[in-house]
Structure 1
Amino acid sequence: MSRLNGRRAEAEAQGLKVKVAILGAGGIARHMAETLTKMAADPSYSGLIEPYAVASRDGERAAAFAAEYGLPVSYGSYDELLADPDVDLVYIATPHSLHAEQGIACLRAGKNVLVEKSFTANTAQARDLLAVADETGLLCTEAIWTRYMPSRAIIDDVVASGVIGEVQSISANLCYPVAGKARLHDPALAGGALLDVGVYPLNFIDMVMGGHDDVAIDRVETSMMPYETGVDAQNSTTIYYANGVMASAQSSMLAASDRGGYIWGERGYIVCRNINNVEAVDVYGLDHRPVAHYDVPDQLTGYEYEVAAAANAILDGLGECAEMPHADTLRIMEFMDVLRGKWGLRYPFEG
């Protein structure tokens, strides 16, 4: 058990902070390092977290990374991170196919984990990881930042206000031309558009629908265009809910899109600019004239919300974050398994 789990009063009395280590030293790890540095300098977060360490399989790379971002500790192996008793929270920033194995190792070593999306490569891995989290009593939460951002509450409140009437249809897309990144077209690393960018439109839809297991799906129509390696290069999915709502999601690693999220109702519609990091929310009436505009709060990088949620959960002795409970993570993983099943897409390690 981490030294701080469930010990908020003690931590506050002694001025102790949640020490965060980053497992992996790639691009998204750099975004997290930047976030931690900014959080440590911001009065809103400086008393909560402490940027502490980075681990890589290359000691020189880890040392250079630590020096660049002012982290006091670097490790030339993941085992060194696991052996450090001062680490409270590990942010796992490696390819999807490694998340379950590395998350389990961290939990068994007494470290809480914040696991970059997608949580794992498939539902079986997700269940294995969450079983160990339950066994150890440590925090294990998925780092899909849109679930933690203030924009989520803004959208929820606008929908709940009834200004557009009953929601009838939802559309969300996220497409980036990123096929040049080797991991994204490697089946062994669970590459493809779905797990990397397609997970965002699905989460957007799930959040609008209330994020509950009792929102039944009647049927799903889906298709994908394969990359030359067999992973999905582009995909499109239509979801038909039992309550009459129809939702569509598109993602691609070949093209650029407007990244829009659209919620259509009986009396108007909502436009969310950039579902990957909502910049603004606009409401329109039946005459297509603007009804309301909502700006989102200024942010450090956007990752600070998930880090703060994880750190607070640790101090409160919780095993999951309210913003992304295990049930929601499993529902999304299960749905992505359904899509890949319909496409006939299996990763090599799935047999």
Structure 2
Amino acid sequence: MLPRSLPVPRTPDSQTAPRLRWGILGTGWIAEQFVRSLQRHTRQVVQAVGSRTLPTAQRAADRWGGATAYGSYAGLVADPRVDVVYIATPHHLHLPNALLAIEAGKHVLVEKPIGLSADEARTMHHAARTAGVFCMEALWTLCLPKYDVIRQLLTDGVLGEPTAVLADIGEAFAADHRILRPDLAGGPLLDLGTYPVMLATWVLGDPDIVQAVGTAATTTINGQLAITLHSPNAVAALHTTLQAVTPTTAVIAGSEATISIERFFYRTGPFALTGRDGARLEFDEPAVDHDALHFEAAEVARCIADGQTGSPLRPMADTVRTLAVMDRIREAVGITFDEAIIARR
């Protein structure tokens, strides 16, 4: 039987998070969304911004309220006023940029995926632990109030034994978008596929079998993937594409109840809990898209203020698990990264 009501989200008000001084490393679209959400919903301070050129950094600093601009990443991480660095550079630069910040003694929040492989995530984790600084993958989904309710349902056993995860994410992109560039580790897996793979590994743990097939978008870039994961008592069926707009919904099925998460399952918005007898409970929250990025920033600020080097909402062990599965997906399909990526590190 379902409970009489759904649990209440335990997510604290982001305005109550301790104030930290942030350095923003990178000035692209996701950095813009992050800073906008940070400034609207938290007391966090955007202290500095770093880019490869000073004019680019200065334009971002002007937009973001007069932060100090640096024309190099090294300049930003050397700023003694910066407490934590948000790394929003292209995927293949996450590891070297994170190591640069960590070696400077800075805490880091690194955009998802935290690296190109599980080995990169392990390297980053080891460096952060050695330096005694905080390190977390910026997988904002798991910091949302909606996912705290789902977390409680899973922990309380409301679903019974989880038996399946079904998840899909698909978007269509212009031909000149960076996701189609082999020199930037393009394709749907890292940008989009992280979300369904994260959901499956979060709910079901490590799979013993990983299978995948795909089709090409260009001669050098994978266009879509159909993925199946097998655990001793459960399966996951996942799909991601950069060639079409797909439902982008998810289902977590259990022996006693099922969670159905509506379109953009990885963002804020509604879901329904349905019991085997058809009883139904619904959760709703405003669908504010990337304006909800502040929840992850507040989580980072609270953890750092408490002296933690990681977050229980997205432990590095979970990040490594997700990337290890993605490594196996790439191997199954034959996806390789452009050699220029390796050369640029």
Which TM-score band applies after superposition, normalised by the shorter structure? 0.7 to 0.9
Asked if the contact 2:169/2:249 (under 8 Å) is kept, the reply is yes
SS in 1 for 2:253: strand
Pair 164,136 (structure 1): closer, same or farther in 2 beyond 3 Å: closer
Q: Residue 334 of structure 1 corresponds to which residue in structure 2?
A: 324
Asked if the contact 2:270/2:282 (under 8 Å) is kept, the reply is yes
1:347 aligns with 2:337: yes
Asked if the contact 1:95/1:183 (under 8 Å) is kept, the reply is no
**More displaced 10-residue stretch of structure 1: 271-280 or 162-171:** 162-171
Asked if the contact 1:155/1:281 (under 8 Å) is kept, the reply is no
Residue number among 244, 264, 284 corresponding to 1:295 in the alignment: 284
Q: Structure 1: how far apart are the matches of 2:50 and 2:158?
A: 49
Q: Residue 217 of structure 1 corresponds to which residue in structure 2?
A: 207
Query: How far apart are residue 114 of structure 1 and its match?
Result: 0.3
- One-letter code aligned to 1:177: A
Query: How far apart are residue 96 of structure 1 and its match?
Result: 0.6
Q: Deviations over 1:187-222 (max 9, x none)?
A: 22111100000000011122222xxxxx45232221
SS in 2 for 1:302: helix
Pair 235,135 (structure 1): closer, same or farther in 2 beyond 3 Å: same
1:250 aligns with 2:245: no
Q: Residue 3 of structure 2 corresponds to which residue in structure 1?
A: none
Pair 298,198 (structure 1): closer, same or farther in 2 beyond 3 Å: closer
- One-letter code aligned to 2:218: E
Asked if the contact 1:282/1:290 (under 8 Å) is kept, the reply is no
1:94 aligns with 2:95: no
Q: Structure 1: how far apart are the matches of 2:118 and 2:206?
A: 19
Asked if the contact 1:193/1:232 (under 8 Å) is kept, the reply is yes
Q: Residue 147 of structure 1 corresponds to which residue in structure 2?
A: 142
Q: Structure 1: how far apart are the matches of 2:148 and 2:269?
A: 13
Q: Residue 10 of structure 2 corresponds to which residue in structure 1?
A: none
Query: How far apart are residue 313 of structure 1 and its match?
Result: 1.7
Q: Structure 1: how far apart are the matches of 2:276 and 2:308?
A: 45
Q: Structure 2: how far apart are the matches of 1:135 and 1:27?
A: 32
1:110-189 maps to which residues of 2 (within 5 A)?
110-160=105-155, 164-178=159-173, 180-189=175-184
Asked if the contact 1:22/1:55 (under 8 Å) is kept, the reply is yes
- One-letter code aligned to 1:203: M
Aligned residues: 324
Pair 172,155 (structure 1): closer, same or farther in 2 beyond 3 Å: same
Query: How far apart are residue 162 of structure 1 and its match?
Result: 5.1
- One-letter code aligned to 1:250: H
Asked if the contact 2:225/2:240 (under 8 Å) is kept, the reply is yes
Asked if the contact 1:185/1:229 (under 8 Å) is kept, the reply is no
Q: Structure 2: how far apart are the matches of 1:24 and 1:336?
A: 25
Q: Structure 2: how far apart are the matches of 1:174 and 1:226?
A: 17
Residue number among 12, 15, 22 corresponding to 1:20 in the alignment: 22
Q: CA RMSD in A?
A: 2.3
Q: Residue 3 of structure 1 corresponds to which residue in structure 2?
A: none
Query: How far apart are residue 309 of structure 1 and its match?
Result: 1.3
Q: Residue 7 of structure 1 corresponds to which residue in structure 2?
A: none
Q: Structure 1: how far apart are the matches of 2:229 and 2:82?
A: 42
Over the matched positions of the two proteins, sequence identity in percent amounts to 31
**TM-score, normalization by structure 1:** 0.86
1:264 aligns with 2:225: no
What residue ranges of structure 1 are gaps of 5+ in the alignment?
1-11, 40-44, 210-214
Residue number among 312, 324, 334 corresponding to 2:314 in the alignment: 324
